[in-house]
Amino acid sequence: MLPVTPTIEVIAAPPQAVLEAHVKAAAPTRLTWRLMVVTGARGGRSQITQRGETDGADRGPLATVGVNNPGEAALEVYQDGRLVAQTHRRFGAGGSPQP
């Protein structure tokens, strides 16, 4: 298995934030990915899921999602149906990073 590095970048643009998903592999290989974003405010909750394929060459974001409320994002990367890497990121209102 090749080293695979998934990242979620949070770009603050108040009152909205933009999340960008990236996947970088040590060498070209067929990978599938899934980005899940959950936000919530004032009792409401929203979930967005995007999926796709990549060869692992980081040419820019695989997915871009705009969000208005605080929440959490998860990016999972699969090779031949097996989970090979994942990352999670919390973000506040307007995209402020959260621990």
Tell me the domain boundaries of the chain: 4-98
Strand 31-41 with 71-79, pairing = antiparallel
* More confidently predicted of 97 and 90: 90
- The model's pLDDT over 28-78, given as tens digits with 9 standing for 90+, comes to 999 999 999 999 877 788 899 999 999 999 889 999 998 888 899 999 999
Give the whole-angstrom CA distance, residue 96 versus residue 11.
8
The residue-averaged pLDDT of 69-90 equals: 95
* More confidently predicted of 15 and 37: 37
Contact 68, 92 (CB under 8 A): no
Q: What is the pLDDT of residue 53?
A: 97
Q: Long-range contacts made by residues 58-62, C-beta under 8 angstroms, separation at least 24?
A: 58/22, 58/23, 58/24, 60/22, 61/9, 61/20, 61/21, 61/22, 62/21, 62/22, 62/23, 62/33, 62/35
Q: Which CATH class is domain 4-98?
A: mainly beta
Q: Which spans in the chain are helix H?
A: none
pTM for this predicted structure: 0.87
Give the whole-angstrom CA distance, residue 96 versus residue 51.
25
- Here the tokens at position 67 are 């969000």
**Residue 92's pLDDT band (cuts 50, 70, 90):** confident
The residue-averaged pLDDT of 13-27 equals: 88
